[in-house]
């Protein structure tokens, strides 16, 4: 029986909470033979969602709510990683764009000695639904840059559905250089996944990329143009940090 900690980042998720996204996770986990915990980490929400989610979480066995100042997704997930109590951690997005049931595709790879198993919307067998063409094209261009400069051989670094060995996840987050915790002005997901996987590759950890089902969830919180430019610059920073020896001691 797998022992799994789920880390769910939350930022202004009132609409998704009211539509039952967390309830979907709770209903699924109750049916499965998993020794699990769920950690919801709020990233300084301003829409009133944190109070409602905290109240709901208190009623759920094996769930925990943590309130953070607004620092972006990397710092939010990092908080959950260092509070996790089980040997493996699953990152899953609040909106359940990749449904929690897709974890069944990732778990078997842990028995094949993979230390990191990532959901992918790009490899054969994956399914992307209701995604605007321009968003898919932007993702393709971004991945081309990622493979050119940093993480070769991985077709989708940005899917928010990944399992890590807990101890390895902690080492990787400690080693981040570009995505150090700090104040954030906007809702920002960023390319921290790229930095994590780049460092993991340098360390020689065994990574599997698994096709998953994914739904495009429209949101007004993210600015695609602004965030894309910033993410491209962050990928460049990761490359320059490596060239300057910044990751030698990780």
pLDDT confidence of residue 216: 84
Q: Label residue 222 by pLDDT band (50, 70, 90).
A: low
CA 2 to chain CA centroid, Å, is 20
pLDDT (tens digit per residue) in 139-157: 899 999 999 999 999 999 9
What is the CATH number assigned to the segment(s) 3-243? 3.90.550.10
pLDDT confidence of residue 49: 97
Is residue 16 within 8 Å of 100, Cβ to Cβ?
no
| pLDDT surpassing 80 at residue 25 | yes
Among the listed ranges 69-78, 102-111, 133-142, 219-228, which one has the minimum average pLDDT value?
Answer: 219-228
Among the listed ranges 12-21, 97-106, 123-132, 179-188, which one has the minimum average pLDDT value?
Answer: 179-188
Q: Which two tokens stand for residue 244?
A: 């300057």
Per cent of the chain over pLDDT 90 is 81
Rounded Cα gap, residues 103 and 117, in angstroms: 10
Residue (of 87, 83, 76, 82) closest to 10 by Cα position: 76
Residues 6+ apart with CB under 8 A from 133: none
pLDDT confidence of residue 196: 97
| pLDDT surpassing 80 at residue 223 | no
Hey, is 101 helix, strand or coil? helix
For the chain, which residues make up each domain, given as ranges?
3-243
pLDDT confidence of residue 32: 85
pLDDT (tens digit per residue) in 167-182: 999 999 999 999 998 8
Per cent of the chain over pLDDT 70 is 98
pLDDT (tens digit per residue) in 41-54: 999 999 999 999 99
Q: Label residue 212 by pLDDT band (50, 70, 90).
A: very high
Rounded Cα gap, residues 78 and 68, in angstroms: 11
Beta-bridged to residue 7, according to DSSP, are 39, 91
Residue (of 246, 165, 170) closest to 205 by Cα position: 165
């Amino acid at each position: 029986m797998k022992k799994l900690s789920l880390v769910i980042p939350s930022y202004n998720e009132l609409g998704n909470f009211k539509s039952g996204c967390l309830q979907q996770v709770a209903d699924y986990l109750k049916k499965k033979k998993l020794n699990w915990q769920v950690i919801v980490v709020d990233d300084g929400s301003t829409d009133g969602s944190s109070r409602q989610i905290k109240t709901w979480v208190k009623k759920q066995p094996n769930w925990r709510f943590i309130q953070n100042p607004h620092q972006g997704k990397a710092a939010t997930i990092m908080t959950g990683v260092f509070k996790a109590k089980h040997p493996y951690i699953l990152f899953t997005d609040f909106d359940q764009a990749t449904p929690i049931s897709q974890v069944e595709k990732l778990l078997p790879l842990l028995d094949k000695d993979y230390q990191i198993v990532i959901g992918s919307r790009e490899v054969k067998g994956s399914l992307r639904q209701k995604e605007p063409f321009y968003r898919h094209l932007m993702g393709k261009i971004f991945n081309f840059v990622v493979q050119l400069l940093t993480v070769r051989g991985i077709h989708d670094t940005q899917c928010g559905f990944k399992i890590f060995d807990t101890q390895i996840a902690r080492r990787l987050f400690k080693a981040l250089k570009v995505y150090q915790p700090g104040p954030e002005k906007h809702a920002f997901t960023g390319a921290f996944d790229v930095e994590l996987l780049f460092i993991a590759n340098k360390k020689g950890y065994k990574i599997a990329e698994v096709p998953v089902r994914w739904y495009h969830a429209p949101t007004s919180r993210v600015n695609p143009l602004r965030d894309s430019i910033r993410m491209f610059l962050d990928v460049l920073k990761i490359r320059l940090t490596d060239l300057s020896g910044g990751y030698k001691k990780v």
